[in-house]
Structures are given as C-alpha cells and as structure tokens.
Chains A and B, each alone.
Chain A
Amino acid sequence: MFFRILRKDMKRKRTSNVIIMIFVIIATMFVSSSVHNIISVLSGIDGFFDKAGLDCDYIAIARINGEDDLSETLKNSECVTDFKEENMLICKNSDISGDNEEACKIGDNCFIMSIGNTKLNYFDKNNDRISDVREGEVYVHVNLMDKNDIKEGDILHVNMEGTQLDLKVAGALKDALLGTAFLQDYRFIISDADYQKLISSPETSEKRLCGAYYVYTDNMTDLKDQFTEIQGVMFDAPISTIRICYVMNMIVAAVFLIVSVGLILVSFAVLRFAIASTISEEIREIGVMKAVGVPDGAIRRIYIVKYFAIAIVGAVIGAVASVPLGSMLMNIISKEMVLDSGNSLLTTVFCALGVVGVILLFCYSCTRKVRKLSPIDAVRSGQTGERFGKKSILSLGKSRLGTSGFLAANDCLSAPKQFGLIIAIITLCLLPVMILSNAFNTLCSEKLVHLFGTTISDVYIVDNNRTVDIMGGDDDADVAMTKEIEDILAENDMPGDCHVEMFYKYPIRFKDKKSVLSFLQCKETDTSDYEYTEGVPPANENEIALAHNGAKIVGAEIGDTVEIEIDGEYRPFLVTAYFSSLNHLGEVGRFHQDLHTSHKNRSFTMAFQVNFSDDPSENEISERIDRIKDIFGCDTVFDAAGYSKDCTGVADIVKVVKYLILLITFVVTVLIIVLMERSFVSKEKSEIALMKAVGFRNNTIIAKHTLRFVIASVIAAVLAALLCLLLTGPVIDPIFSIMGSSAHVEYVVEPLEVFVVYPLAVIVVTAVSAFVSSLSTVSITASQTADID
C-alpha cells in the first residue's frame, strides 16, 4: 500500500522530485570533488616533496671552482650527516633563445642540468616522472614555458661560452626545489650527451659550473653557523624556507579549499530548502493520511523512503560526474606542483554515502512537523487554513511600484528566510571574486613597489646579462654599470639617473646569536628615500634598518647595537628603524649608502631603476620602455606597476583563480536560480493560475518571478561590495604577512570592476536564468485555478 502511494507520488510530483534529484547530483559532485581537493591540498607540499625525494634538511646552491668547493666543506663538516649534489650550469639571459632569435625570459637565476646528474625526481606536466631525456631534447620548467610562450616541439637555441646546441622542447618540467613563481629560479633538463658538449668548453666549466646541495643534518644550528662562514654560496636555506616559497600555490589551493567548502555548504543549504519546501506542499496529503488513521511513523517512512530512493540515484550520478570536475579543479592549482588527484573510489563512495546520509537527516528533521499536523489541516490546507504568519509587508495602495515590482518586492520581504538564503549564496559567491580582484589590482599597481626595497621610478630594467656582469665585477661594478646605462639612455635622447639596489649577505651577531642576513644597499639613493614602519632612517654608515622578520632572526630591536662582520672584523651598527619587505620573505636589512660593501658579499641584484630628468609624460614613458627593450635586447623592462607584478610573480595565478571563481559563481548562480525558480513555480502554481484568471498577462507574471531574483541579486551585490571593502584587508594582509610584509597594504580598488562589472554580470546572469526558468509559468493556464488541491 505504502509503495503504491510512493509510486504514485514519484509520478505525480515529477517536477519537484526531479528538482530534488538535480540538487542531490550537484551536492554529490561538489562534495566529492571538493573532499578530493581538500585531501590533495592538505597533503600538498609534503606529498610533492616526498614524491620528488626532497627529504633533506638544508638546501644550498653554490658555484663550483677550484678554491671553494662546497662538497668538500660538507664532507668534512661534523654537523652534516649526509648530502646529495646535483651539478648544473648557470645561464645568462642571452644564452637561450627561441625560434625568433629573441632571448628567453629566464627569471632571476636559471640553470641547465643533465638527466644523469639528477638526485631528485622531476615530473612532466602529466605528473609522470622524467626518467630519460633524449639527445637533442630539453625539458623546460612549466613557468618558463608559459612566460616565453614555449610549446612542446619548439626549438630552443643554447649558446653558452661558444658552444651551440639546438634543442627540441620535449615537455614541461615540474621541479620541487626551483619551481615556484615566487622564487623565480628555474632549471632546464637536457640529456647527458648534450650536457657533456656544453661542459667540455673550459670556460663553461670554469665560469658556469655550480651545484645544488641537499644537506642532511642533526644539528641545524651549527650547520647554519657554518654556512655563515662559507664564501660563494648563491643561495642557502633550510627546507622550511623552500616550503614557504610554495606559499602562493598554497594560498591558491586554500582559496580553492574555501570555495570547495562554500560549495558544499551552498549545496546542502539549497538541498534542505528544496526538501523542506516540497514537504510543506504536502500538508493536505499528510492531513488526509492522519485523518484515515495512518500513524505518524508510517507517514514519515513514506517520505524518508522516497527521498532515500531519490538520494541513491542522484548520489550515484553525482559521484560519477565528480571525477572530471575534481580533476579540472586540481589541474588549475597543481600547475607547478605534483598533487595527488585524490580521486580514489573509496573517497567517492564515502562522499556519496555522506550526501545520502545528510539528505536522510534533512528529511527526518523536515518530517518532524508531521507530528504537529492534525487531520484538520487536510481540510484547511486551502487559503483559509494554512498556518502561516503575517505575510504582507508593503501596501499596494500606498506603493508607487508597478504590480510586478510590488509583488516581487513584497514576496522577498514576506519570505525573508527564503530570499535571505538566495542573497547569502550569491553574496558568498561574489565576495571572493571581489576580494581577489582587489588583490590582483594591488599586485599590478605601484602600491607594493616599496615592499621590494625600491623607490618609485619611471622605468625598471631587469637585465640578466648586466646583473651577471655586476655579480662577477669589482666593488664598484654596480655604480659603473648604472653610469653605463645612463650614457646609453642619454645617447638615445632619454636623459636621466640610473641606480640599482644590491643585496649583500653579511654575518651578523647580537648578544650570543649569530646569523647571516641579506642587506639592501643602493649607493645612489638616500636611506631617507625609503618607507619605514617605525624609527628613523639610518643617517650614518654605522646605522642600519631591519625588516621585521630580519629583526626577529637577529633578535634585535630599534636602539640595539648589533655587530656585522665587514672585511673580516665585526663592527658595531645601531638599529634605527624597522621597515616592511617582501624580499627574502622579509628577512633583510638596509645599509646606509655610504657604507663600503664588498663585491664578495654580493648575493643578488634588483632592477636598474631609471628616473628621467626631462619629465616625460606617461605616454612618453611607455614609448621609452619599448625603445629600451630594443636597445637592451630584453623584454623585461617595466613601469612601477609592471615591476611590482613581475616581482610578486603571482598576479597571473590570482587572475586565473579570480576568473575561475567568477565562472563557478556564474554556474552556481544559474543552477540555484533555475532550480529554485522551478521549485517556486511548482509551489506557486495556484497563485499563477489565479493571477491569470483575474487578467494578468504572462509577461507580468514572468516579470514578477524574474524581479524577485533580481532584487535578491542586487541586495547580494551591494552586500558583497560593502563586505569586500571591509574584508579585503583582513583576508589578504595575512597572505602578504606570510610573504614578509608586516605593514598594512593599501589596496587598489577599481570601482568600475568591483562595484559595477562583477555585480552587473551576476545580476545579468541571475536575471537571464530567472527569466528563462520563469517561462515555464506560461504553460500554467487560468483554468487550472479550479484544479488546485
């Protein structure tokens, strides 16, 4: 008997049952793919490092030459338990060019390594380990491929110290050590035979040979101390620092994680709404069953069995559909990393069962009101007997709105819970897009330039060839190089001053604590030209400023006197100020311009900054940038905003994530609006028929139904805009703080984009979805007023 009722119900209420099933499919898809992603992301860096075999405690990259061989030092060190070494060749910008003969943009440092020299595991774009590279082929880091628009099968020309090779790109490379846009150091992997050709040149083996060292230790403190004494180390850091370089990947992954959790919540919220709404439509039937003596338990069983059947079918379809969805999402966040897709059958089955369980719980809680209903509800379920509270909020007589607008507004106000849910969902979807948009615009603006230890200049020239020359030059090589650049520019009618920020690594001690810190210094600027968060700029050569993380490492505060080893002896320096910096994760300091620094301590060179003296307009500067690119033969010439974007290296990922979330917002909005509108139409069939009976035209009814959602989306857009102003700082500041910045960042809000384009796009998507779904009201006829139960 109950199964006959159930079968009839399935047939008769086909529309609402189909709606519930679609919700179940969506919920299962989102839950299953999101849980996979959460598992993958949480095990992300550790999993990637495990796969790559990057299990050491300390990393170092150092040049190899006769005098200073780091491997010998490591072998003899008491605090080193073991180490692995990968030999490789350091590249100049002009060493590698594409088919168009233009030099490749290769980042800050770039290395060529042979497959035979690898001690870690390296992966291709499909996450398969690269075990062999054929002669004449090269694997290129995935970020370099994107940056230079290199495709598989392209030919790269290598010209190193006179040795020339033409290499066919075999594919993209994922590298656990040098693999992040944040670090901007990359590797190429070639065959052993090709590597031998390059290294057979005495000049190459003498000038270009270096090693990546993977050091194991049981005494990190002593090892760090030991590295402060070693000369010629280009880069050294504990493995935890490499982990932090993946911060942007993890932030992107975390954004996905939040979006995934959001999608799960949205799916369940909508599902609960749909179940509660369908059960509330059945008051009369429940009352009839109670009137004829069917016990409460049996009535609830009918609904629970019905939803169980729908949930099972929906969950199976959703589980199958979750696999491609999960993979699509993972592909976006795992560009640089090898992340497990996490698509195990067990997880999928577990998630699908979880969704079924949650649906049954919802159903159980929604059918609780069966106990409260009396048989009289069956008789009174019409307009006179339904138990709803005060509904009307607005007065039609006093309102200036047209009927569609009035009815839509009144419906929204009369059912605040229902429309509040829609508003909350759209707000939650729109907010991350707006916040990421602010983050992206800030990353692409001048606002962050000071955080890279530079002043605002007209032009920034990142020239790898000149940088390598300075690194190998004498103490005044930087000043000589900037003079040379000034002359070249002046010869080309672009008069101006040029300066460059240099990094120097010096041992520093305070009380009993000894460490090595990178110091910024520019000999042609004044320390007072820079921004400080606290204290006063260093005024003498025996004064320094420290970035907050740098101060933490040293353990010193403003007013303390620290000792820095200059030219073999420790000299006292007074800490006069703190500043905020994104360089070296904020673990830096700044020297006074007059302090004599040695070329031996140089570790890194920033961009050559040019300030034109003839006060050119913005357009003129833009034209000059193009000319400088031609003159210097490099593409990496920027204005302040472009340089900031280039330095963070993550703006493009943020942009992709922003658009992806916008797409997800559109998809979720369309699904929710379509499904909710279908549910409303089914629930409000009687009212629609009645309106038609009293002479309302289809377009008025469609307008009413569309406007309800438009009102909700407009409110959501306004809410999201207000919240984005309030939340951008609290959400994004911690991310910049992980990268080293301790100051509050002044965010760039593009009003047109954030307050007009995105909200308008969501409102249009909402309006179109609601309009298309409400077209189903056309099929309801006035005569159906008489068929209403």
Chain B
Amino acid sequence: MEKILEVRSLCKTYIVNKHQNNVLKNVDFSINKGEMVAVMGPSGSGKSTLLYTASGMDNATSGDVIFNGKKIAEMSGKELAELRLNDMGFIFQQMYMLKNLTVLDNIILPAVQSKKNTKSRKEKMEHGQELMRRLGIIEAAGNDINEVSGGQLQRACICRSMINDPDIIFADEPTGALNRNASDEVMEELSKLNSDGTAVMLVTHDARVAARCERVIFIMDGNIKGEYSLGKYSTGAKMRDRERTINNWLMEMGW
C-alpha cells in the first residue's frame, strides 16, 4: 500500500522556564493513502502535538515527517502553505471560522485562495454549495457563523477542509464539542469522505469515534505504545463490536 504520510523518529520538546518537556519521543508511524487512522491516548499524552507536527503546522524538534515522499522540514514556508491549502484539510475541536464571512464564504475561501484549483469563482461557489448539500447544511449557506448550530458549523468546517479535494484530512477531536447525534452525523460524513479515497488522521478520546477508523494508534507519555487494526469500516458494520474491541484493547494497553 502506498504511504501518504510517514513519521520517523519524531521528537517534540518544549522548554518552559528552563525545564525541558519531551512531548513526543522518537515516534514512528505511517498512514496509507485512503486510510482512516485514529490517535487515542490520555490527556497530555501528546496526541494533538503529534497531529500538528505530522501535519506540518508545528515544527518537530527532530525526526522526519514525509508527506507524499517529500520531507516537510525541507519545505519553505510558501511550500508548506501551498501544501496545507491544496493537499491537506483541517478540522478542529472548536469550530474556528472567520467572523466576518458567511458560512458559504468561509467554506470556499481556501478554494478562492488556491491557484491549483483552476475552477472559476462561480464553479467554486457551486462546489461549496454541493458539499454543503451533501452534508445537509445547504440552508445555512448565507448565514453568518453565529446563526448556525455547533453541529452545522462543524460540518461546515468539514466542507471547508474538503473544498480543495485534499489527499488527507487532519481532525483534532472533531466531535469534542458536539452532542451525540451531531457527533454521529459528523463522523458519518468523515467516513463517507474516507470511502471516497481521502485519508483521515483524527485525534479522539472517544472509542465510538475511533470505531469508524481502520486503525487505532495508542499514545502515552509521548510514545506510541501500540497500534490496532480494525479493518475498513463500512456502513452497517457492527459499531458496538468495534467499539468494545477498542475499549478492551485500550484497557490492555493500560488506559
């Protein structure tokens, strides 16, 4: 299987008040094209740091992050920005959006900014509307971001992450701020997206969310303690069994 993301001996150290805090210690893992991977672990284990470092949003102290065969550390700021704009999508726990734009404008903003996306402005808008329709939030297109619910806003964030058809989506606790129903809806959309061929790396505390992933990575104290392969999720799969399996494995791992 072709790898989209490869992380080798990744270390991340913060120095606070002359005290060295090793958040990631020689982490190695990889994600294949079209794979959906969950990173789990207790609070402070380094999972969000791993996500941000692996996605090139934060610099590693040492080690390599290789995306589509290219070392991220060797890329210029401009190349990294292009990479994030065209090849990566991001979903955050909080639904960050630009306050002065409508939901639709927030979604199409990366497409308008992208030079690689050669569609016309109108086509980009239609694409944004199409994504919103797919995710069931088309009625909120013209709304300001304070006029929609948290679930709708998070789905809008997913639309934004998909607007330039990225190879991979990084999601940091995408359902962390949502209720159960909204959480299920968002994960359903991410699963659909993944089934269309987009790789997903998500960080979560929730086994129910991780159950939709193909593989789960458990991280603790900055080290990857183990990986568990669940196999590809498909609609109608026995979610309870997958969730129970993950919980059992996590208990075995000491969480």
Interface centre among A385, A398, A786 (most CB of B within 10 A): A786
Would you call B172 and A698 a contact (CB within 8 A)?
no
In the assembled complex, the Cα of A693 lies from the Cα of B105 at a distance in Å of 17
Residue-wise interface mask of A (752-789) relative to B, using a CB-CB cutoff of 8 A (1 in contact, 0 not)? 00000000000000000000000000000111011010
In the assembled complex, the Cα of A406 lies from the Cα of B82 at a distance in Å of 20
Would you call A690 and B100 a contact (CB within 8 A)?
no
| Residues on the A chain within 8 Å of B92, using CB | 693, 785-786
Per a CB cutoff under 8 Å, which of B48, B78, B88 touches A697? B78
In the assembled complex, the Cα of A692 lies from the Cα of B99 at a distance in Å of 16
Listed stretches B16-24, B26-34, B120-128; interface member: B120-128
| Residues on the B chain within 8 Å of A693, using CB | 57, 84, 90, 92, 96
In the assembled complex, the Cα of A691 lies from the Cα of B125 at a distance in Å of 19
| Residues on the A chain within 8 Å of B99, using CB | 383, 386, 388, 391, 414, 687
Would you call A783 and B52 a contact (CB within 8 A)?
yes
In the assembled complex, the Cα of A487 lies from the Cα of B78 at a distance in Å of 80
**Does A695 reach chain B (CB closer than 8 Å)?**
yes
A396-B105, A403-B113 are known contacts. Are A694 and B57 too (CB-CB below 8 A)?
no
In the assembled complex, the Cα of A733 lies from the Cα of B98 at a distance in Å of 50
Of chain B, the residue at the smallest CB distance from A396 is B105
A383-B99, A392-B100, A693-B90 are known contacts. Are A397 and B110 too (CB-CB below 8 A)?
no
Per a CB cutoff under 8 Å, which of B77, B114, B125, B149 touches A698? B77
Q: Within A383-423, which residues are at the interface with B (CB < 8 Å)?
A: 383-388, 390-392, 395-400, 403, 406-407, 410-411, 414-415
Q: Within B70-108, which residues are at the interface with A (CB < 8 Å)?
A: 77-78, 81-86, 88, 90, 92-102, 104-105, 108
| Residues on the B chain within 8 Å of A382, using CB | 94-95
Of chain B, the residue at the smallest CB distance from A402 is B112
In the assembled complex, the Cα of A406 lies from the Cα of B101 at a distance in Å of 10
B interface SS class: helix
A397-B128, A781-B57 are known contacts. Are A383 and B121 too (CB-CB below 8 A)?
no
A388-B146, A693-B90, A783-B52 are known contacts. Are A788 and B96 too (CB-CB below 8 A)?
yes
Per a CB cutoff under 8 Å, which of B58, B85, B96, B112 touches A396? B112
| Residues on the B chain within 8 Å of A396, using CB | 101, 104-105, 108-109, 112, 125
Would you call A782 and B100 a contact (CB within 8 A)?
no
Interface centre among A386, A396, A690 (most CB of B within 10 A): A396
| Residues on the B chain within 8 Å of A398, using CB | 121, 125
**Does B242 reach chain A (CB closer than 8 Å)?**
no
Residue-wise interface mask of A (646-679) relative to B, using a CB-CB cutoff of 8 A (1 in contact, 0 not)? 0000000000000000000000000000000000
| Residues on the A chain within 8 Å of B84, using CB | 692-695, 782
| Residues on the A chain within 8 Å of B63, using CB | none
In the assembled complex, the Cα of A783 lies from the Cα of B153 at a distance in Å of 20
In angstroms, how far is the closest chain B Cβ from the Cβ of A396? 4
In angstroms, how far is the closest chain B Cβ from the Cβ of A379? 10
Of chain A, the residue at the smallest CB distance from B77 is A698
A696-B81, A697-B81 are known contacts. Are A397 and B57 too (CB-CB below 8 A)?
no
**Does B160 reach chain A (CB closer than 8 Å)?**
yes
| Residues on the A chain within 8 Å of B145, using CB | 383-384
Would you call A788 and B94 a contact (CB within 8 A)?
yes
Would you call B77 and A697 a contact (CB within 8 A)?
yes
**Does A374 reach chain B (CB closer than 8 Å)?**
no
Of chain B, the residue at the smallest CB distance from A778 is B77
In the assembled complex, the Cα of A406 lies from the Cα of B121 at a distance in Å of 13
**Does B167 reach chain A (CB closer than 8 Å)?**
no
Q: Within A73-124, which residues are at the interface with B (CB < 8 Å)?
A: none
Residue-wise interface mask of A (179-201) relative to B, using a CB-CB cutoff of 8 A (1 in contact, 0 not)? 00000000000000000000000
Per a CB cutoff under 8 Å, which of A383, A695, A786 touches B85? A695
In the assembled complex, the Cα of A788 lies from the Cα of B84 at a distance in Å of 20
Would you call B100 and A383 a contact (CB within 8 A)?
no
| Residues on the A chain within 8 Å of B58, using CB | 781-783
Of chain A, the residue at the smallest CB distance from B58 is A783
**Does B197 reach chain A (CB closer than 8 Å)?**
no
- What is the interface residue range for chain A against chain B? 35 or more
Of chain A, the residue at the smallest CB distance from B170 is A693
Would you call A786 and B52 a contact (CB within 8 A)?
yes
- What is the interface residue range for chain B against chain A? 35 or more
In angstroms, how far is the closest chain B Cβ from the Cβ of A382? 5
| Residues on the B chain within 8 Å of A388, using CB | 99, 146
| Residues on the A chain within 8 Å of B85, using CB | 694-696
In the assembled complex, the Cα of A700 lies from the Cα of B110 at a distance in Å of 12
**Does B144 reach chain A (CB closer than 8 Å)?**
yes
In the assembled complex, the Cα of A694 lies from the Cα of B58 at a distance in Å of 13
In the assembled complex, the Cα of A788 lies from the Cα of B94 at a distance in Å of 9
A392-B102, A395-B105, A400-B121 are known contacts. Are A694 and B144 too (CB-CB below 8 A)?
no
In angstroms, how far is the closest chain B Cβ from the Cβ of A390? 6
**Does A34 reach chain B (CB closer than 8 Å)?**
no
In angstroms, how far is the closest chain B Cβ from the Cβ of A683? 11
In the assembled complex, the Cα of A687 lies from the Cα of B207 at a distance in Å of 31
Of chain A, the residue at the smallest CB distance from B79 is A697
Would you call B100 and A410 a contact (CB within 8 A)?
yes
Would you call B153 and A383 a contact (CB within 8 A)?
yes
A397-B128, A700-B113, A781-B57 are known contacts. Are A694 and B102 too (CB-CB below 8 A)?
no
In the assembled complex, the Cα of A384 lies from the Cα of B146 at a distance in Å of 5
| Residues on the A chain within 8 Å of B144, using CB | 390-392
**Does A686 reach chain B (CB closer than 8 Å)?**
yes
| Residues on the A chain within 8 Å of B97, using CB | 383, 690
Would you call A690 and B81 a contact (CB within 8 A)?
no
In the assembled complex, the Cα of A410 lies from the Cα of B77 at a distance in Å of 27
Would you call B121 and A397 a contact (CB within 8 A)?
yes
| Residues on the B chain within 8 Å of A785, using CB | 57, 90, 92, 96
A383-B99, A781-B58, A788-B94 are known contacts. Are A694 and B109 too (CB-CB below 8 A)?
yes
In angstroms, how far is the closest chain A Cβ from the Cβ of B77? 7
In the assembled complex, the Cα of A781 lies from the Cα of B84 at a distance in Å of 13
Would you call A414 and B125 a contact (CB within 8 A)?
no
Per a CB cutoff under 8 Å, which of A383, A687, A781 touches B94? A383
Residue-wise interface mask of B (153-169) relative to A, using a CB-CB cutoff of 8 A (1 in contact, 0 not)? 10000001000000000
| Residues on the A chain within 8 Å of B122, using CB | 397
In the assembled complex, the Cα of A414 lies from the Cα of B112 at a distance in Å of 20
In the assembled complex, the Cα of A686 lies from the Cα of B97 at a distance in Å of 9
Interface centre among A390, A397, A687, A782 (most CB of B within 10 A): A397
In the assembled complex, the Cα of A398 lies from the Cα of B84 at a distance in Å of 25
Interface centre among B92, B101, B145 (most CB of A within 10 A): B101
Of chain A, the residue at the smallest CB distance from B121 is A397
In the assembled complex, the Cα of A698 lies from the Cα of B78 at a distance in Å of 8
In angstroms, how far is the closest chain A Cβ from the Cβ of B173? 10
Of chain A, the residue at the smallest CB distance from B95 is A383
Residue-wise interface mask of B (108-150) relative to A, using a CB-CB cutoff of 8 A (1 in contact, 0 not)? 1110111000000110110010000000000000001110011
In the assembled complex, the Cα of A781 lies from the Cα of B160 at a distance in Å of 20
Interface centre among A384, A695, A697, A700 (most CB of B within 10 A): A695
| Residues on the B chain within 8 Å of A397, using CB | 104-105, 108, 121-122, 124-125, 128
| Residues on the B chain within 8 Å of A690, using CB | 96-98
| Residues on the A chain within 8 Å of B90, using CB | 693-694, 785
Of chain B, the residue at the smallest CB distance from A412 is B100
Q: Within B45-61, which residues are at the interface with A (CB < 8 Å)?
A: 48, 52, 57-58
In the assembled complex, the Cα of A388 lies from the Cα of B101 at a distance in Å of 12
A residues engaging B (CB < 8 A)? 382-388, 390-392, 395-400, 403, 406-407, 410-411, 414-415, 686-687, 690-698, 700, 781-783, 785-786, 788
What are 13 contact pairs spanning A and B, CB under 8 A?
A382-B94, A382-B95, A383-B94, A391-B100, A392-B100, A392-B144, A397-B108, A693-B92, A694-B84, A694-B85, A696-B113, A783-B52, A785-B92
**Apart from A392-B105, A692-B81: 16 A-B pairs, beta carbons within 8 A:** A383-B146, A387-B146, A398-B121, A403-B109, A686-B96, A690-B96, A693-B57, A694-B84, A695-B85, A696-B113, A781-B57, A781-B58, A782-B58, A783-B52, A783-B58, A786-B93
Q: Across the A-B interface, give the 7 residue pairs with the lowest CB-CB distance, nearest first.
A: A695-B85, A397-B125, A695-B84, A783-B58, A396-B105, A414-B100, A782-B57
